[in-house]
Structure 1
Amino acid sequence: MRTMRGWFRDTTGGLPVTFWYLWAGTLINRLGSFVLVFLAIYLTQERDFSASQAGLVIGLWGVGGAVGTTVGGTLTDRWGRRPTLLTAHLGAATMMLALGFARELWAVALGALLLGMFAEAARPAFGAMMIDVVPEKDRLRAFSLNYWAINLGFACAAVLAGLAAEAGYLLLFVVDATTTVITALIIFAKVGETRRAPAVGARHKGPGAPAGALRTILADRVYLGFVALNLFGALVFLQHISMLPIAMGDSGLSPATYGSVIALNGVLIVVGQLFVPRLIKGRSRSHVLALASVVMGVGFGLTAFADAAWFYGLTVLIWTVGEMLNSPSNATLIAELSPAELRGRYQGVFSLSWQVAGAVAPVLGGLVREQAGNGELWLGCALVGGLMAIAHLVSGPARERRAVALRGATETVVPVVAVRPPAPEAAEAAATAPAEPLVPGADAGPPADPRRTAESTGVR
């Protein structure tokens, strides 16, 4: 029991209060993420759209998401994390209700486009805020906990969505919009602005200035190389949504069986994700990412030989282990490769790789399957996983050097805080007082002392 308590304290203790508000918002939002799970069924069965029309609507959701991540990243850096999150969540809730009441194809398509834009605009702001409030030494744990909340909420949402759909599909949209508003209220009431700016009089040491943000990102070959690797990984990973159900159908298995098999993904993550940080702590991120690529490649590659539900379930469990290793390492590396003043834009570019993969993966997978065959598709996924592992090992040292350089560059940044002009007497006293050393990375929010932070978080 003592060992279990120690593990729980090591996993959840010492994180800032703001993180737990963001974590709670993530869990609540994901508990109500009904619509995307059932959108294709809703469009074809309730709205009587054809399969091609439903594909168009879902595709427009992805297009809106690509625009949203780009715009959201820019607003995150220029406008601030908090106002961007609030606007995105409230806009998403509004468009969720509008989509639920839309009837004509053009209205549904427009609603999906705008909903995708607002929903995905929140991602860069949320990612930047997580990096802002969590110290570097705790980010692996924090991102693992957040990833765990995402999967727990989504797994519960899939079950709850089925029950809500029986009462009427409109309820799906209403509940989804409500949880989004609740998340916005948590941010409004409990989360302050976390964006930082260079200290007055301090020289900027980062790789670029906000005025040349796009030029800076396009010139950042180390970061773009990492994003490209994520794109290839996402092209493999997203085959479980598009091509896996088709492959299982060819094996004579029902859609219900596919649902049960794919649910193993969420179950394993919920059960095991909290143990991952301790497992990989102190290990080379490049080696962990390479191992994750190999494991995911093996899992998807074995699908070529699967012909029964248990075999498909085994493949899902294998590539889920790779996903669990990949996610926290990916998140912490993105955090360290993002200059403080450009975190929103960098997060937006990374999110864009997922949006592109979401649009390309089903088309590419379908073409490979039709032209080469089902087995070749999955063996190709294994090959991509192996090549990605080699690429991670080769590019890893350059990424770590860039992370060290940016870590030193952030020493001159301080939080943006509103202050009153000092009274003349105070200004005169301040001018003669000895200067206090600046603590790098100090927050205006939670206390920096890990013991005080642990006591104030109220962790369970």
Structure 2
Amino acid sequence: MKSITTTYINTFKGLSKEVWWLALVTFINRAGTMVIPFLSLYLREDLGFSYKQVGWIMASFGLGSVLGSWIGGKLTDKIGFYKVMTYSLFISGLLFIGIQFLNTFITLCLGIFILMMIADSFRPAMFVALSTYSKPENKTRSVTLIRLAINLGFSAGPAIGGLIISQIGYNGLFWVDGLTCILATLLFIQVLNPKKARIQDGIKVLHPDSAYKDFSFLWFLVGLVLFGIVFLQYFSTMPIYYKDIHGLTEYEIGLLLGFNGLFIFIFEMPLIKWLEHKTFTKLNLIAFGALLTLLSFVVINLTGWSGILIVGMFLMTVGEMIAFPFANAFALERAKKGNQGEYMALFSIAFSAGHIFGHKTGMDLVSLFNFETTWYIMAFLGFVCMLVFMFLRRRAK
């Protein structure tokens, strides 16, 4: 047991102090954003919107995320990651509190759009900060540590969120979300002063390449959009499926989603450390992650037994654990060729595009057909995604 614990601790060695602070800020911020997994349920159950209306509001979520990621990348290259991250955290905290007072279709579309535009300008800046404070050989593990912080927060967030809903109601979520974003801002200002921080990887490119002309990177983004569309079903249509088809309560849904984050927190870093020493390429690993994710949609259609939901969540979680850290590492590696903000903005935009098309497509398919057909269509898109990464691997050769 001691040997296992020592091995686990050793996987974290060598990471800079600043990366650990970034991880703590991210954890506080992510633990607070507990409203996100319940947003589709809130819109459907509490406000009584139709599947199509929920789809449009969630599409506004994605559109705001795309614009915010683009703006965040541009501002990061111009004014630096520190200012972008500070303003994004603080203003989004205020907006989270304000969202609870919107209850019409139009105001919610506009409010969610503005919220995500501000909140997701944080992402490109955070990736550039992570790259700056990480030694080149530690970048994949640094990304994994940030993901651990995200998932630890995400494992606690939905479970606490489900409890808050059952005791107080949905309004309590918005207050907690907003206040934790503001708390994360105050901590960030205190512990990460860029003038005192140790720069681990000062990347200077005299004649940067445009990310828009990097065709391998653009193909990579296509695969990422497809993966996002499939993966994000677990945070929009899937909670409704859990409630409407399997009869789970909000608290039980929170626990199931929390399992995802807790499993990643415990096992992802050792898994990534082990995979880094194997001969697998990043693109092959991303393709394998897509395969496991598409299988998670196939298995839940095989039986009406509610226990199969845990099997599906397990497959998706392992797929996510493999695909996302190596996708992040691939993008950071590629970004050394040009303006980092531009590259990481496009990386963030690709996943945000998944929010636009994923939530809306999932809701429309459920409304037009049923959940079973929707899951098979998502499995097919996951297969196409896997083929894109395999093609890109052959192109790279």
TM-score range, shorter chain: 0.7 to 0.9
1:297 maps to which of 284, 287, 294: 294
More deviation, 108-117/140-149: 108-117
In structure 2, C-alpha distance between the alignment counterparts of 1:317 and 1:103, rounded to whole Å: 35
The alignment partner of 1:304 has SS state of coil
CA contact (8 A) 1:93 1:180 kept: yes
Name 1:226's counterpart in structure 2. 220
In structure 2, C-alpha distance between the alignment counterparts of 1:301 and 1:273, rounded to whole Å: 24
Cα distance change of structure 1 residues 390 and 172 upon mapping to structure 2, 3 Å threshold: closer
Name 2:356's counterpart in structure 1. 359
CA contact (8 A) 1:25 1:186 kept: yes
Cα distance change of structure 1 residues 282 and 388 upon mapping to structure 2, 3 Å threshold: farther
Name 2:186's counterpart in structure 1. 185
Name 1:235's counterpart in structure 2. 229
Name 2:95's counterpart in structure 1. 95
The alignment partner of 2:11 has SS state of helix
Percentage identity across paired residues of the two chains: 22
Question: Deviation string for 1:1-27 (max 9, x for gaps)?
Answer: 552343134211121111011000011
Q: Which has the larger radius of gyration?
A: 1
Name 2:71's counterpart in structure 1. 71
Equivalences for residues 268-287 of structure 1 within 5 A: 268-283=263-278, 284-287=281-284
Query: Given the two structures, how large is their TM-score scaled by the length of structure 1?
Result: 0.75
CA contact (8 A) 1:197 1:341 kept: no
CA contact (8 A) 2:158 2:257 kept: no
| 1:85 maps to amino acid | M
Name 2:121's counterpart in structure 1. 121
| 2:20 maps to amino acid | W
In structure 1, C-alpha distance between the alignment counterparts of 2:258 and 2:307, rounded to whole Å: 13
Cα distance change of structure 1 residues 170 and 237 upon mapping to structure 2, 3 Å threshold: closer
CA contact (8 A) 2:64 2:115 kept: yes
- Alignment partner of 1:266 is 2:261: yes
Equivalences for residues 277-426 of structure 1 within 5 A: 277-283=272-278, 284-339=281-336, 342-366=339-363, 368=365, 375-396=372-393, 398-399=395-396
Q: CA deviation at 1:230?
A: 0.7
The alignment partner of 2:307 has SS state of helix
Q: CA deviation at 1:290?
A: 2.3
Q: CA deviation at 1:38?
A: 3.6
More deviation, 245-254/299-308: 245-254
In structure 2, C-alpha distance between the alignment counterparts of 1:262 and 1:97, rounded to whole Å: 23
Question: Deviation string for 1:287-340 (max 9, x for gaps)?
Answer: 222222222222222233131111232122122211111111111111101136
Name 1:156's counterpart in structure 2. 156
In structure 2, C-alpha distance between the alignment counterparts of 1:142 and 1:4, rounded to whole Å: 21
More deviation, 77-86/370-379: 370-379
CA contact (8 A) 1:145 1:274 kept: yes
Name 1:13's counterpart in structure 2. 13
Cα distance change of structure 1 residues 277 and 111 upon mapping to structure 2, 3 Å threshold: same
| 2:275 maps to amino acid | I
Cα distance change of structure 1 residues 377 and 112 upon mapping to structure 2, 3 Å threshold: closer
| 1:297 maps to amino acid | L
Question: Deviation string for 1:236-274 (max 9, x for gaps)?
Answer: 212223443555567554455655544432332233222
| 2:49 maps to amino acid | S
More deviation, 63-72/377-386: 377-386
Name 2:49's counterpart in structure 1. 50
Task: Pick 1 or 2: higher relative contact order, CA cutoff 8 A, min separation 6.
Answer: 2
Cα distance change of structure 1 residues 75 and 252 upon mapping to structure 2, 3 Å threshold: closer
CA contact (8 A) 1:74 1:345 kept: yes
CA contact (8 A) 1:196 1:341 kept: no
CA contact (8 A) 2:26 2:146 kept: yes
- Alignment partner of 1:204 is 2:206: yes
In structure 2, C-alpha distance between the alignment counterparts of 1:250 and 1:94, rounded to whole Å: 33
| 1:365 maps to amino acid | G
The alignment partner of 1:74 has SS state of helix
CA contact (8 A) 1:294 1:389 kept: yes
Cα distance change of structure 1 residues 251 and 29 upon mapping to structure 2, 3 Å threshold: closer
Give 5+ residue unaligned stretches, structure 1.
208-215, 402-460
In structure 2, C-alpha distance between the alignment counterparts of 1:352 and 1:315, rounded to whole Å: 27
Cα distance change of structure 1 residues 241 and 157 upon mapping to structure 2, 3 Å threshold: closer
Cα distance change of structure 1 residues 360 and 328 upon mapping to structure 2, 3 Å threshold: same
Count of residues paired in the alignment = 387
In structure 1, C-alpha distance between the alignment counterparts of 2:62 and 2:359, rounded to whole Å: 12
Name 1:212's counterpart in structure 2. none
The alignment partner of 1:218 has SS state of helix
| 1:224 maps to amino acid | L
CA contact (8 A) 2:217 2:334 kept: yes
- Please tell me the root mean square deviation across aligned C-alpha atoms, in Å: 2.9
Give 5+ residue unaligned stretches, structure 2.
none
